[in-house]
Amino acid sequence: TWTMANVVEEQVERIRAQVGEGRALCALSGGVDSAVAAALVQRAIGDRLTCVYVDHGLMREGETEQIERDFVAVTGVDLRVVDAREQFLGALAGVSDPEEKRKIIGREFIRVFEQAALDVVGDAKEHGDTVDFLVQGTLYPDVVESGGGTGTANIKSHHNVGGLPEDLQFTLVEPLRTLFKDEVREVGLQLGLPEAMVWRQPFPGPGLGIRIVGEVTQERLDTLRRADAIVRAELTAAGLDREIWQCPVVLLADVRSVGVQGDGRTYGHPVVLRPVSSEDAMTADWTRLPYDLLARISTRITNEVPEVNRVTLDVTSKPPGTIEWE
């Protein structure tokens, strides 16, 4: 709409005024907010923006490619992808406790991003330049919630960790500070971002790492990724993406049950479907998905993912259940 076109123009002007001839850095997470913020800043300052994407190996099928390929194709953004998959798997080896997993994933993310940021800063320095700005996809509701503060930050304080090299002190650029989520999506569409990215449902930072009940391994991630891809494809085909808030698929990796698949007895794992309806994720109700859709999902998963021999449905509201299982 014309209003959103105005928003884009206005924000681009503001960013230019703030950043001037300076350079900026942005961490892409795969989420809507960081993608739209980065696309806006790219439009304003071009290749004086460098984006960093940490591939922790915990994303869903096609998501990393969406950023590496589609997002870059549309925006022309200067992107550095850090392949940290081995590092994350190594750090998560032997860990089953949910809070422990979150801590490890958060810690490794900061380590990897900090190093990448130092590299970007170092490269600029070689050309007699500095990187003074950090782009963040802060939305209006986040601003209200945190009391309206803005200004400077470093990468660690953003992630609630103390202490950092001088080199990584930044002034924040927050082009989405006045917008609500639906407006951010509009801006994203206006900027030509892929629909799948603009309409992406919430997905937790620790990714599939907290959707495997038990230890996170490469094999389990592959299993969950395949089951999850089927669920997402079927929900999309049924036209339900925008109806439901999100639908985590959880692999009960430490549980096995007997089944019969093909010619023989199997001893596989269950997956749990967790479709929820919600306004803000604070409370949620389990979504009454049509039975035939559930049947299709179940048949496809047990046919196409040999490690999974049972598909179950979570019919718990929040509270008492959280949306995620970990």
Residue 246 in contact with ligand XMP, rule: CB under 6 A: yes
263 is in an annotated binding site: no
- Shortest distance, CB of residue 211 to ligand XMP, whole angstroms? 9
Of 1-9, 65-73, 137-145, 317-325: span binding ligand XMP (CB under 6 A): 317-325
Q: Is 72 in the site for ligand XMP (CB under 6 A)?
A: no
Work out how close the CB of 109 gets to ligand XMP at its nearest, in angstroms, rounded to a whole number. Answer: 11
Q: How far apart are CA 37 and CA 29, in angstroms?
A: 11
- State yes or no: residue 158 binds ligand XMP (CB under 6 A): no
Antiparallel, parallel or unpaired: β 152-154 and 169-173: antiparallel
Output b/e per residue, 232-253; b: 16+ Cβ within 10 A: bebbeebebbeebbbbbbbbbb
Q: Tokens for 79?
A: 């992107």
d(CA 38, CA 40) in angstroms, rounded, equals 5
Q: What is the dihedral of CA 73, 77, 83, 85, to 10 degrees?
A: -70
Among 204, 229, 259, 316, binds ligand XMP (CB under 6 A): 204
Task: Choose which of 206, 209, 268, 275 interacts with ligand XMP (CB under 6 A).
Answer: 206
Tokens of 117: 């940021």
Q: How far apart are CA 240 and CA 196, in angstroms?
A: 13
Q: How far is the CB of 202 from ligand XMP (least distance, A)?
A: 4
Does residue 281 bind ligand XMP (CB under 6 A)?
yes
The contact mask relative to ligand XMP for 75-104 (x = CB under 6 A, - = no) is ---------------------------x--
CB 38, min distance to ligand XMP, A: 17
Q: Which of 234, 246, 240 is nearest to 311 (CA)?
A: 234
> Where along the sequence are the contacts to ligand XMP (CB under 6 A)?
102, 202, 204-206, 246, 281, 318, 322-324
